[in-house]
Amino acid sequence: MNPPDTAFSARLRAETREAHQTAESQRYISALTAGELGVAGYTTLVVQHYVIYEALESVAEMMRHDPLVGPFVDDALTRLPALAKDLQFLLGPDWRQRIEPTPATTAYAARINAVCASAPHFIAHHYTRYLGDLSGGRHIGRCVSRYYGITGDAGAAFYRFDEITDPKSYKETYRARLDALALALDAAGRTDLLDEVLVAYRHNTAVFTDLARLAPATTREGAA
């Protein structure tokens, strides 16, 4: 039970920790970060990211001038151009005709499009994606470079945030902005935001579950 004076960002983090851990512990992620997938297996994730961010960043443009959540829309976070660059490298100039989202990815993008005109719901998905990118996403980017020879210059630009030189400080500022937003929301709005973060994590978990077919049956450690 959180004390009444707990900052909303800390409460959000605590109450969604289990869902977050479930998402990031999926078999596909462990295989990806252990170098077990190959470039094709990694490329499939890039495709899913493109579809998800196409939905999220389309909504972000509509929310850019919203008085409550507009300040969260920062071009330094925008991922879609980097993802297009990555797919151009990985799949070639006809990549747009070759990408195919999984059913879970289609459902995830549909959820974003359906609910994110609401400020709390938009921030729930914004928070889940971008703070994840600035945290565990950076680790994934290093693994992709190490095991697959794919760098931020060619195929993994998604993991590079060239305009954010201090991710730790940026995340602290983001959480402070989140705390200020929570003060502007009523109790129902805060509950909606928290509940939708849990929904976002469930969608992420479902995407990774769809991709688990690409992973070998056992990890290298398990096979040893």
Give the integer Cα–Cα distance in Å for 10 and 118.
22
Q: Answer for the pair 186, 83: CB distance below 8 angstroms, yes or no.
A: no
Question: For the chain, what are the domain ranges?
Answer: 8-213
- The second-level CATH assignment, the architecture, of 8-213 is Up-down Bundle (1.20)
Count the helix, strand and coil residues of the chain and give each as a percent rounded to the nearest 5: 75, 0, 25
122's CB contacts (< 8 A; 6+ apart) are 59, 60, 63, 69, 116
Q: Which residues are CB-neighbours of 72 under 8 A, at least 6 positions away?
A: 123, 126, 174, 177, 181
The total of other beta-carbon atoms located within 10 Å of residue 142's CB is 13
Whole-angstrom Cα distance, residue 15 to residue 136? Answer: 18
Q: Which residues contact 93 (CB under 8 A, 6 or more apart)?
A: none
Cβ count near 79 (within 10 Å)? 24
Backbone angle region of 115, left / alpha / beta, with phi > 0 → left and psi within -120 to 50 → alpha: alpha
Q: What SS3 state is found at 155?
A: strand
Angle at 36 between CA 33 and CA 37, to 5 degrees: 95
Per-residue pLDDT tens digits of the chain, which is 224 residues long: 444 458 999 999 999 999 999 999 999 999 999 999 999 999 999 999 999 999 999 999 999 999 999 999 999 999 999 999 999 999 999 999 999 999 999 999 999 999 999 999 999 999 999 999 999 898 999 999 999 999 988 899 999 999 999 999 999 999 999 999 999 999 999 999 999 999 999 999 999 999 999 999 764 444 43
